[in-house]
Amino acid sequence: MAELRDSSSRLFAAAAKLDPPITASTDLAAALSVSKQRVTNWKSRGVSKEGAIEAQRVLGINVDWILHGQLPMFVSSAESPAVQSQSARQQRQILRDATKLVRLVLDGNIPLTDQQKEELSDRAVAMVAERWANGFPTELDAYKAALELVAHVQSR
C-alpha cells in the first residue's frame, strides 16, 4: 500500500520542479484535465497507470518514475526540468484555451450532431496550437475563434 501512496508523492515532487511549479492538488488536476477528486484519490490509493501516462504526456514526468520510482524523473534525462516544463506549460495553455473554445461553443446552444461534437475538441486543440499557443490576445479573439470552430465543424 505504501508503494501506491508513494506514486502520488513522486508525482507531486516532480510537478513541484516544473516551471512554474505545480504544488496544489487543484492545479495538478487542472493541468491534467482531471477532477480534483481523482487527484485526492491518488493520494490514498496511488496514481493510476492512466494518470501516470497522462502526467507524462502533459507534464513530461516519467511514468516509471511516478509508478515505480525509477529514474529519470522526466522523460528525457538530457533535458532539464525547466526545458521540459516550458513545453509542458505551453501544452497546458493550449489545452486550457481549447477547452475554453469548446465551452464557448457548447454554452452557445449551437445545434451540433454527435459526430460534430466529437470533432470539436480535436479541431479546437489544433486551432489553438496553430495560432495561439501562448494564449488568446483578447477575449474577442476567443469568441471569433469559437465561431470559426463552429463554422468548420458544421461545414464537414
- Looking at the predicted structure, is the pLDDT value of residue 78 above 50? no
Task: Give the model's confidence band at 1: pLDDT under 50 very low, under 70 low, under 90 confident, else very high.
Answer: very low
Residue 6 in grid coordinates: 508513494
- Looking at the predicted structure, is the pLDDT value of residue 146 above 90? no
Task: Give the model's confidence band at 40: pLDDT under 50 very low, under 70 low, under 90 confident, else very high.
Answer: very high
User: Rounded to an integer, what distance in angstroms lies between the CA atom of residue 50 and that of residue 31?
Assistant: 15
Residue 56 in grid coordinates: 507524462
Mean pLDDT value of segment 25-40: 90
pLDDT value at residue 132:
67
pLDDT value at residue 47:
95
In the beta sheet, which residues pair with residue 74?
61
Q: What is the pLDDT of residues 107-143, one digit of tens each?
A: 888 888 888 887 887 788 777 777 766 666 777 878 8
Q: Is the separation of the CB atoms in 64 and 73 below 8 Å?
A: no
Which DSSP letter does residue 72 get?
Answer: P
Cα torsion 9, 7, 91, 140: sign: negative
